[in-house]
Amino acid sequence: MWLEEKTWQKIRKLVPIPSVDGVIIKDGKVLLLKRAVKPAGKWCLPGGRIDFRESAESAAKREVFEETGLRTTVERLVGVYSEPNRDKRRHAVSIAYIMKLTGGKLRINDESSDAKYFDRLPPNMAFDHAKMVRDAFKILRKK
């Protein structure tokens, strides 16, 4: 039995959405995408929702590939980010991972207007992604 779209949208507003974000670091720089969708113009990590019957790790690899064209593996957990107001659109709980590049060629999809590697975070970061990046670098320094 399927729900009507209107009913589903009401439910979605009341239930936290599980999501993932991938931190890709190359030569000491982090890959960020400039959003073409709300909140447009802000820089963020590649990521998105976990699909039904999908593991968080598989979702991270899929989302990174869909948004960047890069193939990756999960290297390490950065953390779980669950502050209810971290995303102004909805309550999203994100699991962030440090991702290791394994192939592919950098490109963007229609959700982004640009992709760049940064050695310093830009001031206009989306959500709590600046914290995720800082946390990832702290983890890598402890190695």
Give the residue, 89 or 116, on which the prediction is more confident: 116
| Structure-derived torsion over alpha carbons of residues 85, 86, 90, 93, reported in degrees to the nearest 10 | -110
Residue 99 lies in a domain: yes
Domain count, the chain: 1
**Residue 121 placed within a domain:** yes
Work out the percent of the chain whose per-residue pLDDT is above 90: 87
Write the DSSP symbol of residue 125.
B
Residue numbers of the domain that contains 94: 15-142
Q: Measure the CA dihedral 119/120/123/126, to 10°.
A: 50
Nearest CA to 66 out of 54, 82, 78, 80 is that of 54
pLDDT bucket at 1, cuts 50 / 70 / 90: low
Burial of 20 (0-12, 13-18, 19+ CB in 10 A): buried
Please report whether residue 8 resides in a domain.
Answer: no
Question: Does a structural domain hold residue 1?
Answer: no
Pick from 97, 51, 93: which is nearest to 73 by CA? Answer: 97
Tell me if 2 is assigned to some domain. no
User: Residue 57: inside a domain, yes or no?
Assistant: yes
Is 127 domain-assigned?
Answer: yes
Give pLDDT tens digits for 40-79.
999 999 999 999 999 999 999 999 999 999 999 999 999 9
**8 Å CB contact between 68 and 107:** yes
Averaged pLDDT score across all residues of the chain = 95
The answer on pLDDT for 109 being more than 70 is yes
pLDDT tens readout for residues 3-18: 898 998 888 888 999 9
CATH of the domain at 117: 3.90.79.10
- What is the percent of the chain where pLDDT is above 70? 99
Total-model pTM: 0.92
Q: Which residues contact 110 (CB under 8 A, 6 or more apart)?
A: 36
5 within some domain: no
Contact 36, 111 (CB under 8 A): yes
Contacts of 134 (CB under 8 A, 6+ apart): 121
